[in-house]
Amino acid sequence: MLKPLDQSGVWRFRELLPPLAEQRVITLREGNTPLYHLQRCASLTGIDSLYAKHQGMNPTGSFKDTGMTVAATAAHATGFHWVACASTGNTSASMAAYAARGNMRSLVLIPEGKISWGKLSQSLDYGALTCQLRTDFDGCVRILNDLVRQKPVYLLNSVNPYRIEGQKTAAVELLEQLEWQVPDHIIVPGGNLGNSSAIGKALLEVHQLKLISRLPKVSIVQAQGANPFYRSVHEFGGAKLEPMTADTMATAIRIGNPASWKKALRVLQSTGGEVEQVTELEIAEAKAEIGADGIGCEPASAVTLAGLKKLSQRGFVKPGETVILILTGHLLKDPDFTIKFHRGDLFEGTLQEREAVRTKQLQRAPVVLDATLAAVISALEAAEKIP
Ligand code: F0G
């Protein structure tokens, strides 16, 4: 049974969903993502016990899938024919896939020209009605909120409570993988702030259930050009959040008016975490460093390592502590960024162009050679001189 739309625009159930038969659960076998030790990044940061929980290893390549299985199942069980989201690319990719699996139609609102090709191609392939709006993510959200008040369309943005419930599983899985030894820090990228809220909620609940005896500190990292939450905490003590026009090459977190900032604030306060911001250059470097560890991730995920470096410099994270980075998206989500970085083009024409010279030793540009053995041997010998 449904209540009329509430203020957030989400259809809510008057009663809990009845238990669903297994065959009615829309799933792509998400979850059970790997926990990796980041060897090189550990020696780079001086934090030996440094791990990545890679949510980009989910079926559509991002952390969104663990929430989408729950929320899409709820939409389907209630008889919705259409589901919709505003997105920076990953939610839309995930929603389109789960909608298709559940025989539902999906409507995607994305900011034109501001999402990566990999993500756009996914929503096309999964059959979504994909609308590229001439606005930013926040503009897409505004239109979607109005739309769901007029049309029987189920909203699948992260304000949907079922998404949050599903995304909690990452934290529980992580604790299970650590054999319930509580890490000291969990570091999460911050965009719309649904994921940090979900992870924090899971930890608080698990703590209340006495499955763990203390809480890890959950810290949130934003891109400097999309830092409304950082500013809220550091400039206004969390009393208010001033929306901003966001800009960052980490397009997944190009968000100026995060919906779940109050929930994220409560997570910081209850776990004793910090909020940090990082520059475009720091993001690009960190992404290459995670790549060089044989793991890889998309730019928005790399803010975690960049943020960790800052948190450790200011003594908030200590060398002997255990740190988990939540990597939210797969390396192949945004190959454009990676190729531009390695070719040395990423910062061309930007204010950071000169400073970007320092990333040179991380770059591995492809070399074009004549098709001869001699040419390949000389490339090999040249590469042997690089550590
Ligand atoms: N990392 C990636 C790869 C993302 O796609 C997002 C958000 C975040 C981090 C931030 O998570 O919003 O829960 O704080 N992507 C959304 C989308 C907004 O539409 O795909 P958050």
Residue 171 predicted with pLDDT over 50: yes
**All residues at 6 or more sequence positions from 203 whose CB lies less than 8 Å from its CB, including other chains:** 171, 186, 212, 215, 216, 218, 271
For 237-255, what is each residue's pLDDT tens digit? 999 999 999 999 999 999 9
Residue 24 pLDDT: 87
Please report the sign of the dihedral spanned by the C-alpha atoms of residue 21, residue 22, residue 24, residue 26: positive
Closest to 147 measured CA to CA, from 97, 85, 103, 100: 85
Residue 34 predicted with pLDDT over 80: yes
Report the percentage of the chain scoring pLDDT > 70.
94
pLDDT averaged over the chain?
94
Per the structure block, which two tokens stand in for 68? 């989408």
The dihedrals phi and psi of 326, each to the nearest 5 degrees, come to -90, 110
Closest to 63 measured CA to CA, from 154, 159, 164: 164
Q: What is the distance in A from the centroid of ligand 1 to the CA of 3?
A: 29
Question: Which of 107, 253, 257 for mutating ligand 1's site (highest number of atoms within 8 Å of CB)?
Answer: 253
Q: How many of the other CB atoms lie within 10 Å of CB of 131?
A: 14
Residue 359 predicted with pLDDT over 60: yes
DSSP assignment of 86-126: E-SSHHHHHHHHHHHHTT-EEEEEEETT-S-HHHHHHHHHT
Q: At what angle do helices 169-177 and 194-208 cross, to 10 degrees?
A: 60
- Residue 2 — very low, low, confident or very high, per pLDDT cuts 50/70/90? very low
CB of 27 within 8 A of CB of 21? no
Average of per-residue pLDDT across 31-55: 98
Question: Which of 90, 165, 227, 262 for mutating ligand 1's site (highest number of atoms within 8 Å of CB)?
Answer: 90
Per the structure block, which two tokens stand in for 17? 């969903």
Structure-derived torsion over alpha carbons of residues 229, 54, 175, 158, reported in degrees to the nearest 10: 40
Atom of ligand 1 nearest to the CA of 255: 18
Give me the amino acid identity at 2.
L
The separation between the first and the last C-alpha atoms of the chain, rounded to the nearest angstrom, is: 63
DSSP state, 13?
B
**Quick check: helix, strand or coil at residue 139?**
helix
Task: Count CA within 13 A, CB hemisphere, residue 31.
Answer: 18
Q: What is the distance in A from the centroid of ligand 1 to the CA of 193?
A: 8
DSSP state, 377?
H
Per the structure block, which two tokens stand in for 206? 């698990």
Q: pTM for the whole thing?
A: 0.94
Residue 3 pLDDT: 46
Q: Which residues line ligand 1 (CB under 6 A)?
A: 62, 87-91, 158, 189-196, 252-253, 298, 300-301, 328-329
The residue whose CA has the least distance to atom 6 of ligand 1 is 252
Closest to 257 measured CA to CA, from 137, 134, 98, 379: 137
For 302-316, what is each residue's pLDDT tens digit? 999 999 999 999 999
Per the structure block, which two tokens stand in for 37? 């030790």
Q: Give the pairing of strands 185-189 and 275-278.
A: unpaired
Residue 182 predicted with pLDDT over 60: yes
